[in-house]
Amino acid sequence: MNVKLETLTDILLHISRVQENLSQMRAILEARGIAHDRTKFFAIEFDAFVKAWPKFKETNYGSPEYQECVDMIKSSINHHHANNRHHTAFHKNGFSDMNLFDILEMLADWKAASRRNLDLSFADSLPKAFEKYSIPPNTQGHIVATLKYLKWI
């Protein structure tokens, strides 16, 4: 085989393999999107969220009022975290045990949840989340760069 054809074949094979790998990643993210927060429909969680919702919707993430709501339904939130791996509390060692898919789902969750805030932007909520979940500074930089790439902040 001539060198040009051999090189072209190798490049095309490499690109095809990368596409397959990215397709596998996409499928995992799609499956996570479909299954996201299904436990919120279980009575232990749903009933608690119904009880807390009138107050929750009047608060901003990280505020004392928000924490009061969390405390009011703590056992339901603990159940939710224990059954959903995109939450740091699911993992024995918190954030450091999360894989990149867990982190991407967590970011999608944070972005969606931020839309409930009355007067706190998603970007402004990030420092509170980084501190709460003990996210290392270098990882914070990767997260911020990703969120900017997505034009979420």
Closest CA to 54 of 75, 41, 73, 35: 73
Closest CA to 86 of 107, 112, 114: 107
pLDDT of residue 141: 98
pLDDT of residue 130: 98
Q: How far from 79 is each of 3, 18, 38, 45, CA to CA, in Å?
A: 60, 38, 12, 7
What whole-number distance in Å separates Cα of residue 91 and Cα of residue 98?
7
pLDDT of residue 118: 80
**What is the chain's pLDDT, residue by residue, as a tens digit (153 residues)?**
799 999 999 999 999 999 999 999 999 999 999 999 999 999 999 999 999 999 988 898 889 999 999 999 999 999 999 999 999 999 999 999 999 999 999 999 999 999 988 888 999 999 999 999 999 999 999 999 999 999 999
Give yes or no for a contact between 95 and 60, defined as CB atoms under 8 angstroms apart.
no
Question: Could you read off the pLDDT of 9-19 as tens digits, one per residue?
Answer: 999 999 999 99
Give yes or no for a contact between 94 and 133, defined as CB atoms under 8 angstroms apart.
yes
Q: What number of CA atoms fall less than 13 Å from residue 21's CA on the CB side?
A: 6
What whole-number distance in Å separates Cα of residue 115 and Cα of residue 107?
13
Which amino acid type is present at position 76? S
Helix pair angle (64-72, 74-82), 10° resolution: 80
pLDDT of residue 15: 99
pLDDT of residue 25: 99
At which residue do the structure tokens 């997505």 appear? 150
